[in-house]
Structure 1
Amino acid sequence: MQKLLASALALVILAGLCGYGFWTLQRPQGHYLSDLRITLALNQGVPGEHGNLLGVEPLLFPSDYQNLTRLHRKLSAYLDQARAQGLVNARTVVVLPEHIGTWLWARGEKKELYQVTQRREAWQWLELSNPIRYGLAMLAAQGDDRRTDAHLRMKAGQMAADYQQLFGGLAREYGVTLVAGSIILPAPYVEDGVLHAGSGPLFNASLVFAADGSVLGQPQYQQYPDSETRRYVQGGQQHPLQVLQTPAGRLGVLVGSDSWYPANHQQLAAQSVQLIANPVFLSGKHSWQAPWRGNRHQDAASTLALQRGQVSEQDAWQQLTHSAGNGISSMSVFLRGQFWEQAGDGQGFANQGTAWWAGSASPGARLLNLWL
């Protein structure tokens, strides 16, 4: 009798495990409606032979990341509208915002993950749907926030491939140089033209794609991670800033708050930079007018001209990001949208020499254009 009960219990457990395993493999697609409109919030200068910096501030939500087709459809719709307005040519440098690639960790998950309202609930669905991958990633996780590290590490290979496929494809499709915002990956590197995720600590990095879809240079690591990501993202000071040759001029990328630090601007100027792309993600609804948070966790922040809370986020970004170098043009582009309870805020702006211009505070997605 005991053997019979034990056998029955084993069969029930086995059936339960098989059922759970089968459930984790199911990825049904939910209904999808998306606003593809975008407003031209800044158009400075006149068309010429030197090209332009074209910033795209997309309005994105978790459902946009359910598959690459959805995300491509939205971003290509924005670029189609820019092209219809004469803002896309062979010398255009398109700048996308920070972390537009990081959210690729949500690609290909269960529909419930995109429907919940809290990020912790989305994490629970991610972990339940990928138990083995999550468990292995936890064993390899680093930093003070091992759970977030594991979420990104377990999807890193897929994220790197998706990032290159999507953004390299967009660069090739529109014949532009494309600064693909940023993505958090473990020790990313490019080998034989392919982006790879390594096995080291996580870095927030940006990649630039040429008009034929190929990668220019190596991933540009964020030098000074901000206070929101410092618990799982490592600083990239051991990977110096690079300047890349593009049809519009010599281009450098400063990821997020890296644009605050004069030493970074000086390092790029020493390499004869002409263009600076600054992809940004500023979290928090209405945070653009809130007191500046600064970055008290970075030693280099103590040397900045402003103190934490002294001015608004808007004033701090515009004052600190300004590059005083003659002949240098730059553009800061912010990610908009709502990722569970975390909203993206900010208002893009551009610099050219000693002059700067802010985009209008129009709702929804925005385009920013600066003729060079």
Structure 2
Amino acid sequence: MRKLLYLTFSMALIAALTTYAMWAADRPVGHYLSDLRINLAVDQGTPADRGNLLGIQPELFPTDYQSPERLHRKLAAYLQKAQDQGLLNDKTVVVLPEHIGTWLMVSGEKDELYQASTLKEAMNWLAASNPLEFLRALASAKGDSRMDDAHLRMKAKDMAKNYQALFGGLAKEFHVTLVAGTIVLPEPSVSDGRLKIGRGALYNSSVVFGRDGLPIGQPQRQMHPVFDQQDVIEADEQHSPNVVDTPAGRLGVLIGSDSWYPDNYRKLDAQGAQLVAVPAYVVGRGTWDKPWRGYKGLSTPSSVSLKAGELSEGQAWHRLTLTAQPPSSQAIAGISVFLRGQFWDQGSAGQSFLSSNGQHFVDGNSRGARLLNLWL
């Protein structure tokens, strides 16, 4: 009798595991509708032969990431619109927002993940659908938030591959220099023209792709992640901001809150940066108009007198972004581009803006995808 019970239990367990494995491996592609429209919100300056800075503020949702091909379709539609309006040339530098590459972590997943009502629920589906990958990532996770670390780390190799194929491909397809927003990866680096990952801490990083689709220089790692990211994302304060040569001039990248630190602009000036790109992301619908929360647990630079709550979030971004404001920054122009859309219950805020001659040029309408162009 005992043997019969063991046999029955074993067969039931095998059946359950087989069913689970088949369910986890199944990746049906659901019906997809997405708004490919984008409006030219700001067109500043006069066309010349010096090129232009073009910011793309997309409006993205989880289903846009169901496959790299879907995301390519949407971003290519935005770039095609810019090309049709005469905004792309051999000297154009296109800038995308922060974390546009990070959400590649949910690419190729089951419908249940995209239909989840909360980010937490979506991450539970991510782990349940990839049990072996998640357990391996959890075993090597670092920091205080090991679950969040594992969610980001578990598909890092595929994320890096898709990130380069997608954004490098867009740069080559439209023959532009592309600041590919950011992506969170473990110890990212470029070797022999390929973006690779390591086994160490996670960094929020940006890669610039040239017109040939290949990375220019090394990934720029974020130096000052905001407080609510510090349990997962490592700060890289040991290195100066990268400056790379582009057809439009020498370009520096400051990721998100890195643009709040005056010393970073001095470091860019020392390297002869003429242009500054700021990929950014502000979490929470309506946050842009709420009181600024300060440096969010980070040390406030001694030269900054602005206190939390004195201005709105948007006003603080304009005050703290010093691009093209001599003597604080010797760059001739800059652009700050924010990610917009809705990722489950996590809304977004932020209105992208251009910086030139000590002024900021911003579109007052934050709805829908937007193009912001500055002729140099």
Partner of 2:229, secondary structure, is coil
Verify the 8 A CA contact 1:254 1:278 in the aligned structure 2: yes
Look up the match of 2:182: 182
Look up the match of 2:14: 14
Over 3 Å counting, the alpha-carbon distance change for 1:301 and 1:294 in structure 2 is farther
Partner of 2:185, secondary structure, is strand
Aligned partner letter, 1:363: R
**Alignment length (residue pairs):** 372
Verify the 8 A CA contact 2:207 2:220 in the aligned structure 1: yes
Verify the 8 A CA contact 1:98 1:182 in the aligned structure 2: yes
**How far off its partner does 1:327 sit?**
4.8
Q: What is the TM-score normalised by the length of structure 1?
A: 0.98
Partner of 2:73, secondary structure, is helix
Over 3 Å counting, the alpha-carbon distance change for 1:218 and 1:74 in structure 2 is same
Look up the match of 1:294: 294
Q: Does 1:39 align with 2:43?
A: no
Look up the match of 2:223: 223
Over 3 Å counting, the alpha-carbon distance change for 1:210 and 1:25 in structure 2 is same
Verify the 8 A CA contact 2:265 2:322 in the aligned structure 1: no
Look up the match of 2:157: 157
Verify the 8 A CA contact 1:296 1:302 in the aligned structure 2: no
**How far off its partner does 1:300 sit?**
4.1
**How far off its partner does 1:360 sit?**
3.2
Look up the match of 1:345: 349
**How far off its partner does 1:356 sit?**
2.2
Q: Structure 1: which 4+ aligned runs deviate by more than 3 Å? A: 300-303
Deviations 1:210-234 (A, max 9, x none): 0010100000000100122111101
Over 3 Å counting, the alpha-carbon distance change for 1:341 and 1:47 in structure 2 is same
Partner of 1:299, secondary structure, is coil
2:362 aligns with one of 324, 334, 358: 358
Verify the 8 A CA contact 2:353 2:372 in the aligned structure 1: yes
Return the alpha-carbon distance in structure 2 between the equivalents of residues 362 and 8 of structure 1. 61
Verify the 8 A CA contact 1:326 1:354 in the aligned structure 2: no
Verify the 8 A CA contact 1:92 1:177 in the aligned structure 2: yes
Q: What is the TM-score normalised by the length of structure 2?
A: 0.97
Look up the match of 1:328: 332
Look up the match of 2:59: 59
Verify the 8 A CA contact 2:273 2:331 in the aligned structure 1: no
Deviations 1:168-197 (A, max 9, x none): 000000000000000001111111110011
Aligned partner letter, 1:275: L
Return the alpha-carbon distance in structure 2 between the equivalents of residues 87 and 369 of structure 1. 8
Q: Equivalences for 1:167-246 in 2 at 5 Å?
A: 167-246=167-246
Deviations 1:77-122 (A, max 9, x none): 0000011110000000000000000001000110110011101110
Return the alpha-carbon distance in structure 2 between the equivalents of residues 322 and 249 of structure 1. 18
Look up the match of 2:79: 79
Deviations 1:301-325 (A, max 9, x none): 5653311111001110001002223
Partner of 1:298, secondary structure, is coil
| CA RMSD, Structure 1 to Structure 2 (Å) | 1.1
**How far off its partner does 1:242 sit?**
1.3
Return the alpha-carbon distance in structure 1 between the equivalents of residues 212 and 375 of structure 2. 22
Partner of 1:30, secondary structure, is coil
Deviations 1:329-369 (A, max 9, x none): 10000100000011111111111132221123141000000
Q: Does 1:120 align with 2:120?
A: yes
Verify the 8 A CA contact 2:352 2:363 in the aligned structure 1: yes
Deviates more, 1:77-86 or 1:289-298: 289-298
Aligned partner letter, 2:280: V
Return the alpha-carbon distance in structure 1 between the equivalents of residues 137 and 167 of structure 2. 26
Look up the match of 1:252: 252
Verify the 8 A CA contact 1:295 1:301 in the aligned structure 2: no
Return the alpha-carbon distance in structure 2 between the equivalents of residues 163 and 20 of structure 1. 30
Return the alpha-carbon distance in structure 1 between the equivalents of residues 224 and 330 of structure 2. 25
Verify the 8 A CA contact 1:39 1:362 in the aligned structure 2: no
Unaligned runs of 5+ in 1: none
Return the alpha-carbon distance in structure 2 between the equivalents of residues 3 and 198 of structure 1. 49
Q: Percent identity?
A: 53
**How far off its partner does 1:145 sit?**
1.1
Partner of 1:228, secondary structure, is helix
Verify the 8 A CA contact 2:52 2:91 in the aligned structure 1: yes
